[in-house]
Structures are given as C-alpha cells and as structure tokens.
Structure 1
Amino acid sequence: MARTIQSLERAAAVLRLLAGGERRLGLSDIASSLELPKGTAHGLIRTLQQEGFVEQEPTTGKYQLGAELLRLGTSYLDVHELRARALVWADDLARSSGESVYLGVLHQQGVLIVHHVFRPDDSRQVLEVGAMQPLHSTALGKVIAAHDPVAHSEAADGERQGFTEHTVTDLEGFESVLDMTRARGWAGDVEETWEGLASVAAPIHDRRRMPVGAVGVTGAVERVCEDGELRPRLVAAVRDCARAVSRDLGARRF
C-alpha cells in the first residue's frame, strides 16, 4: 500500500473541519479538535492562509475557509458542466469538419484537454484527454489567453518556447496576436506548435459571459489550410460550435 503524506492529510483535515460545524474556529479549537500540537496546527493554517485556502477574521482572529477554495470549486463545476454541454456539439463538429476536435480549459500555465473527439476515419489515433498544450502557440491557448486575464498573465509573463520557426515568442508579437484574436473571435495555429499540423479554435463563454474554455479542430496542414490560410468553412464551423456550447451554458449574447 502506498504511503500517504502526513502534512497533506492534516491540511485536508483542517479544511474539512472549517467546512463543517461553526465554520469559524480559533487556533486552539482547531488544534484540540484534530489532536495536534498548537505549533503544528498554526504552521498548517499559516500555509493554507498563504495559499488563499484559509482566511483569518480580523476582529475575532478566528479562521474560516478562503476564497481560493470557492474559485477552485467553481472551476471544477465549470469544467465538468462545460464538457457535458459540449459532447454532442463536439461530435457534430468532428463529423462536419472531418478533423479531430479538442476541448480545452486553463490549467496552471497551460491548456488542459478535457475532451477529445477522434477524426472520423480509420486512422490510428491516440486519446489526448488530460494532455497539456501551451498557451502561447496553440489555437486553444491563444483563444483562452486573449479572453481570460489570468491566462493572459501566465502566457505573457511565462516562457514562450519556440517549438518551430513559426512560433511567436517575443512579447510584442504575442500581444499583437492576442489583439487580432479578440478582434476576429478565433485563433489559428499553422505549424506554430507541431510541424505539419494546423488548428483553429474559438472561445466558449458561460452565463456570466466569462470565458470558461475553448473548442478547436486540428489536422494536417494540407487539409485544414488552403493557400497557406485556414479554410474559412472550418473557421465558421468551429465558431458555430463554440456559440452553440456557449448558448447551452447560458451565454445569451450567442
């Protein structure tokens, strides 16, 4: 049986304790409830507080759950609702485009693939759910970075690796790409991340008009592009899919 990490178990216990009962507890209450030395409990709470998972009430000095947990919980629900709402539309997009379809969301410093529909042919393909894609070079990443301030900051401040000769790595050029993405409502990637592959993606918004992810198609350059440009019919199909999923999530403007 694999060994567990005691400090993580204790931190989880602190969060569960604050999630129930009185919701606001002092240091002594937490230490005694969990049968921990006060110094140990204080160290756990201080770390959780620094990460935003616990907050201290100024007047009483008692501790309560922090806003970061709310953000993580909301992200969890959004991702799963997003995937559930997008299933049928993603299948339709794969059939109409003849290409692989990816659904991605912001995760740490990249794009997490939460749904992948295979290209509808008999070719051998590998499921990429759970894979990470870069923010600065992929169509999914650029769309998310253009509409989500957190993703924008991660992409602008982080390292922008040059995967091919077409990858935009300088900050001024990258910001120009994001401006164009916002203006036209979609992003492209023609051999910027992988040689021989091109993709197009569009943003998905929820009922609060907040960006919650992106959907896109990826395929061989010779199929996705024509005369060096992304095929307009594929761009239109991807945008229609993004609008449909956004509408299902309650985004009225779509």
Structure 2
Amino acid sequence: MASETGTQSVERALGVLRVFTAGRPELRVSDVASAVGLSLSTASRQLQTLEAAGFVDRDPVSGLYRLGLDMVSFGGAVLNSHPVHREARQVAQNLAAELGLGANVAVRRGDELFYLLNFEGRLAPRPFVLAGQRNPLHATGLGKALLSGLSSTERRVLLEDLPAYTPRTIVTHDNLDQAISTTSARGYATEVEELALGRACVAAPIRDGSGAVVAGLSVSGPLSAIDLPNREAGLASAVIEAADSISIGLGYHGPARVPLQSVVVES
C-alpha cells in the first residue's frame, strides 16, 4: 500500500506540473485543483511541496503559482543530451541570423510535433520561447516534413482527425497525402496560413544514420517576411542545405541534393 501511495503522490505532482505547460503561466490553487481533479487541500499540499523543491514559485503579493526557475536546469539537461539538439543548435542559429527569420527544429511526439529549439531573426521576432511547445502535424510545414517519414497508412492511423485551424488548413487525408508527396519529391514543405493567419514557413526533414526522418527544420515568420512568391527557391535551398548538414552530423550519408535552380510557386 505504501508503494501505491508513493506512486500516486508522484503522479499527482507530475499532473500539477503539467498544468503549467497548458498555456496559463500563473495559476491559483483552485485552478490547479480543478485541472488535475484534486481537492483544494491536496492541491495546496502538492504546490507547497513543489515550491519547497524549487519546481514552482509563489508570488508573495498575488499568491499565484508559476513554474520555478529550477525547472530550467532540468530542461537544459534534457536538451543538451539530445543528439538532434546538439547537432542543430548552431546550424539553426546561423540560419536565423542569415535569413532574418525564425529558425525552428522539432521532433515528433506521438501525434504532435515538439519544438526542441528556435531562434528569432530580425524580421520575425516572438514574445515567447517555442522550445517545449507542441503543434499539430498536419497544419504546419514542420509537421509535413516529419510526416514524410511515414507511409499513407501510418499517417491515417496516427492522425484520425485533421481539425481546421484556419480556412487553409488541410482537413482530408487525400489532400495531406498530396502535400506529403510534393514534400518528398522536392525535399521541402511549405505552409501558408494553415495554422495561424498571417504566418508562413518552409521546412525540410532531418534524418539519422539509418535514413529515418527524426526531426524537421523550418524557417518561419510573417507573410511579408517569408514572401514565398519571391523567396521560395532561396529559402528552400537554404533550409534543405541546413537540414542536410544536421543529418550528416547525425550519421546520415544519403545522396546530396542538387541545389534548387527554380521552383514553381503553387497557388
């Protein structure tokens, strides 16, 4: 029984911590209790224990809780030990500086993409950090790059529903198959206002030594900064080259891609 109680306590603590990753950085005890399904007294005890360990902080004025700075140490250790992060960090940073756009690297976690890192370019500033956040696979360029490593059957099993986020979101598997086929044929994916209005990206897959798609790299920003009608060929070439560089660092020795000379812009 003691072991079961200890397991339940750990599960509750993890549940409390996950609440803070759901989009609201500061929460009341009652917010946490409601989200995790705990009584107020149990939620309060969990938060007090986590505060003593440095995993959450409590604002002395408002009484609201937020994730503690000690969590940064864990996040940094996780990222520093991840092979894709190690190989991609400098490449992505250079890409953001060169193009003036956001440079992002993500892996697939189940039916979502998970951002490992991002750097902001001067033309695409963000007021928040993308690392650690998740996005849908079917509505992003990064997601399409990641999905290019799966078969059509595997994609249908993985993604039962394709919800719409904007009028331009792909919502059928037939259309997604077509987009993935295009991605595989030319080596990169595009996304224009499929997840959020006013934004676009260009992405390419990253492969490991076995040739499997293990991550994706993208450049993103406002429509005016991405400017696909005029910049698609150059952006695609830069993203593919950067992704190939990371892949080589991961042990991939596949055929080098021929630099893009011209690209037909799709409507």
Residue 147 of structure 1: CA displacement? 1.3
Does 1:232 pair with 2:233?
A: yes
Q: Distance in 1 between matches of 2:174 and 2:113?
A: 22
Provide TM-score, normalisation by structure 1: 0.66
Where 2:129 maps in the other structure, the secondary structure is: coil
Residue 144 of structure 1: CA displacement? 0.6
Structure 2 partner of 1:130: 132
Structure 2 partner of 1:89: 91
Aligned partners of 1:100 and 1:118 also within 8 Å: yes
Residue 168 of structure 1: CA displacement? 1.2
1:64-83 correspondence to structure 2 within 5 Å: 80-83=82-85
CA displacement, residues 117-165 of structure 1 (integer Å, 9 cap, x when unaligned): 1223695531111110111010000111111359952676421111111
Aligned partners of 1:200 and 1:230 also within 8 Å: no
Structure 2 partner of 1:196: 198
How many residues were matched structurally? 185
CA displacement, residues 64-94 of structure 1 (integer Å, 9 cap, x when unaligned): xxxxxxxxxxxx9998001001111011110
Q: Distance in 2 between matches of 1:155 and 1:220?
A: 33
Structure 1 partner of 2:220: 218
**Unaligned 5+ runs, structure 2:** 12-77, 257-267
Which structure's CA Rg is the greater one? Answer: 1
Q: 1:111 pairs with 90, 113, 129, which one?
A: 113
Supply the RMSD in Å over aligned alpha carbons: 2.8
Task: Quote the sequence identity (%).
Answer: 26
**Unaligned 5+ runs, structure 1:** 10-75
154-163 vs 104-113, which deviates more?
154-163
Aligned partners of 2:123 and 2:225 also within 8 Å: no
Structure 1 partner of 2:145: 143
Aligned partners of 2:124 and 2:225 also within 8 Å: no
